[in-house]
Amino acid sequence: MKKILLGLLCSFVLVFASMDFNSATKEELMSIKGIGEKKAQAIIDYRKSNKITKLDDLKKIKGFGDKLVSKIKNSQKL
């Protein structure tokens, strides 16, 4: 049982750590600590006309400052 849980946890971490901000659904974006419904929608709106190539690109979106982007970076390095 522990091996199954560990396997599920590892697969979740791999999926979460490799999230593509250009194609993630609103729900996937909201699963990141610090991103709620409004910020997830702001990312979706932004990526309609811009490509997110690095996490620092999020700073170009209203409501995303250095502190939040740093927190997201740290959570993506799991």
- Rounded to whole angstroms, the Cα distance separating 48 from 29 reads 15
Query: What 8-state DSSP symbol labels residue 61?
Result: S
Q: For residue 26, what is the domain's CATH number?
A: 1.10.150.280
Q: What is the pTM of this model?
A: 0.73
Domain count, the chain: 1
Enclosing domain of residue 72: 2-76
- Rounded to whole angstroms, the Cα distance separating 67 from 16 reads 20
Q: What is the mean pLDDT of the chain?
A: 83
Tens digits of residue pLDDT in 29-39: 999 989 999 99
- Identify the sign of the CA torsion 70, 75, 76, 78: positive
SS3 32: coil
